[in-house]
Amino acid sequence: MIPNQWYVVLDSSQVKERPVGVTRLGEKLVFWRDRSGQVNCFGDRCVHRGVQLSKGKVLDNGCLQCPFHGFQYDASGRVIMIPANGKNMPVPERYRVHRYPTHEAHDFIWIWWGEEPPTELKPPRFFDDIDDSFCYGKAYDPWNAHYSRVIENQLDVVHLPFVHYNTIGRGGRTLVDGPGLQWVDDDMFFVYVFNRVDDGRPPRRPDEVPTPDPTREYKLEFIFPNLWQNYIHRDMRVVGAFVPVDDEHTLLYLRYYQRFLTMPILGNLVSRLAMPFNLYVAHQDRRVVITQQPKASALVMGEKLIQGDHPIVAYRRRRQELMEAAARGKGDKV
């Protein structure tokens, strides 16, 4: 995983009144809401005797209470009361757990994963053309694969006529022109798909295809480290958050957004009814992605890539740059 990044890790609906324990980015974490509704995230381990804090409860004073000996944690991760010592006894500063900065927006929960964040930590990005005018349906889908492989699958335009031969890849468009790739900035890029039926002409190079595509709105969008959008057209999108569980497991948080039907009840119903098809398509991918070896991808890993893998190379190169920058302690762009 890339350190020093905002990662989508949960759907907002998953954190309600009680603490929630999950594994994300290879770590056991507890998420909980204080009485103001603010989401907080700690390492899921009490500093006292190592009990999971996610088995505790949120008190009326807004603190998270350990279920074993009643230690109370405030939103900063500091223990403010040890019942066995009495309510008037000060608690030493060293009694605290690691707190992860959180951000909640668009019904997603992000955490800042890595070193201490910069003083002026900017909020994470989302797709600025998705707003409250859209209805959406959603699903959570487990993959026995490294998150980098799941991301690359959604940037892979070569596999469409083979893996999705009877769904979104119909038409025998096996030849790949380009693909076109456009960087919006250091952490976001667009992919333009120019697949066509093989008529004997050689494929055009990436620098020979237009970006953006002047003939249609369709494109794929990716925001580092783990957000993707299939921009079908201005009123229909599929969004995926590729949530790392550990080095071999990923949760795909999949959403179908639409606003061609805006009546609340009907719009929400249509959005939900579209999800079985979207999951079916995702499972066509999952069947092959879980077989890839090695589990995690890398910029240099012995694969014999082709021109059509241009977006995957771009993803790997930037991912490697971000990981190297984090290792150097420079933080790079966040």
Q: d(Cα 268, Cα 270) in Å, to the nearest integer?
A: 6
- The answer to whether 229 touches 250, Cβ cutoff 8 Å, is no
Kindly calculate the radius of gyration of the chain based on its CA atoms and give it in whole angstroms.
Answer: 22
* Domain segments of the chain as ranges: 5-113, 135-328
Comparing 96-100, 157-161, 260-264, which segment has the lowest mean pLDDT? 260-264
Q: Are 138 and 286 in contact (CB under 8 A)?
A: no
- Tens digits of per-residue pLDDT, 195-222? 999 999 999 999 999 999 999 999 999 9
| Span 269-290, pLDDT tens digits | 889 899 999 999 999 999 999 9
8 A C-beta contact, residue 91 and residue 34: no
Q: Which CATH superfamily is domain 135-328 in?
A: Naphthalene 1,2-dioxygenase Alpha Subunit; Chain A, domain 1 (3.90.380.10)
User: pLDDT digit string (tens) for 16-71?
Assistant: 989 999 999 999 999 999 989 999 999 999 999 999 999 999 999 999 999 999 99
What is the spatial distance between Cα 50 and Cα 102, in angstroms, rounded to a whole number? 23
Percent of the chain with pLDDT over 70: 99
Does residue 331 carry a pLDDT above 50? no
Instruction: Please state which CATH class domain 5-113 belongs to.
Output: mainly beta
CB-facing half-sphere around the CA of 173: CA atoms within 13 A: 16
Where residue 258 falls among pLDDT bands split at 50, 70, 90? very high
CB 247 within 8 A of CB 217: no
- Tell me the angle at which helices 310-328 and 147-155 cross, rounded to the nearest 10 degrees: 140
Q: Are strands 102-105 and 108-113 parallel, antiparallel or unpaired?
A: antiparallel
- The pair of structure tokens assigned to 195 is 């697949």
pLDDT at residue number 25: 97
The predicted model gives 301-318 an average pLDDT of: 96
Q: At residue 334, does pLDDT exceed 50?
A: no
What DSSP designation does 274 have? T
For the segment 182-196, what is each residue's pLDDT rounded down to a tens digit? Answer: 999 999 999 999 999
Length of the chain measured in residues? 334
pLDDT (tens digit per residue) in 141-171: 999 999 999 999 999 999 999 999 999 999 9
The string of DSSP codes covering 174-231 is -EEEEEEEEEEETTEEEEEEEEE---SPPPPPGGGS-SS-TT---EEEEETTTEEEEE
Does 135-328 match 5-113 at the fold level?
Answer: no
What pLDDT was estimated at residue 274? 92
What pTM did the predictor assign? 0.93
- CA-closest candidate to residue 110, choices 247, 241, 255, 251: 241
What is residue 330's predicted lDDT score, i.e. its pLDDT? 57
Q: For the chain, first and last CA: distance in Å?
A: 15
Residue 327 CA to residue 115 CA, distance in Å, equals 10
